[in-house]
Structure 1
Amino acid sequence: MIHEIITFLKDSFVKIVLLIISFFFSLFSNAQVDSNSDLYKRLKKNDSLIFESSFNKCKIADVKPLISEDFEFYHDQGGITNSKKEFLASIEKNICSNPKSKPHRELVAGSLKVFPLYKNGILYGAVQKGTHNFYLIEGNKTRPTVSALFTHVWVLENKKWMLKRVLSYHHQPIKN
């Protein structure tokens, strides 16, 4: 009889644990906002401003207002960048300094996802994830280089969306 009770309790415990795990998985797997939401559209536009203006067109002044003063960038090949000033200088030096050989970034269609962050029911930030491909433009030739994943943490600072943290990782050669 005791053996049956212990077996019942073990089985019940496993079922409860699985139920709790399923609940949390469903809670977090549905946290992504719809691509038609204002938040998604705003952060997609900001992503475009950052990469189209600064990375692709070297209009670094356009991007300054979007970068938090408390900015950090983590790159799986380039290391850590600990400040807004260092980040913008790095773009100027590494991306925009050679007019004969220019990197270009494109967001992979359909890869962008946005997850809101709340504190006490009030939106304070968002996590933006996606995949982007990089190309090298040399004269009139464009060749693919790498594809990578990115994660951005956006925070509302004085009612403005500011890019605070960036992770750029899993850089892999683009296979033709």
Structure 2
Amino acid sequence: MPIYPQQLVILDRDGVINEDSDAYIKSVNEWIPYSDSIDAIARLSQSGYSVAIATNQSGIARGYYDETELAKMHARLTTLVETAGGRIAHVAYCPHGPDDNCTCRKPLPGLLHEIQRVLGLSSLQGSWMVGDSLRDLQAGHACGCRLALVKTGKGAKTAQKDLGLNDVLICTNLTDFTDKLLSGRLD
């Protein structure tokens, strides 16, 4: 079944799906999903949406953990979502630090372009980017995504700022976003 951009929801990981930490999520044991985020992802999948993840993981460049440990975290996420009846279409991550001059680290749109390429989409116009930080929204904006900010993670602080972007849907958490999307209450 082909994927259409308007049927794609791209999620940031830390602070949206799982608890965030200023000390970084360094192991699968530290990766703690929000109690309702897994069910929200499953509900999106069951309603015909493809769900992808775009996550900055500079802890790799900083030497806090390696890509093997990150793979364990993403395997745990995938297993939980599949057990709940959902599916993750793709996980794109940036292993670079802020001074590495890569093209993938959000707010740059490289991770979203990877998702677009892997899923075989001609554009991301009309898809959703859901994040808890301005850089998540900026990456989505650069690709023509509709934007949603959740107040979990760093989202409550982010919501107090002037985002400089139009039409950002503000949601309590991923479940609130999912409820609004699936019911058509997008105002």
Structure with greater contact order relative to length (CA < 8 Å, sep ≥ 6): 2
Q: Which has the larger radius of gyration?
A: 1
**Pairwise TM-score range, normalised by the shorter structure:** under 0.3
Greater share of strand residues, 1 or 2? 1
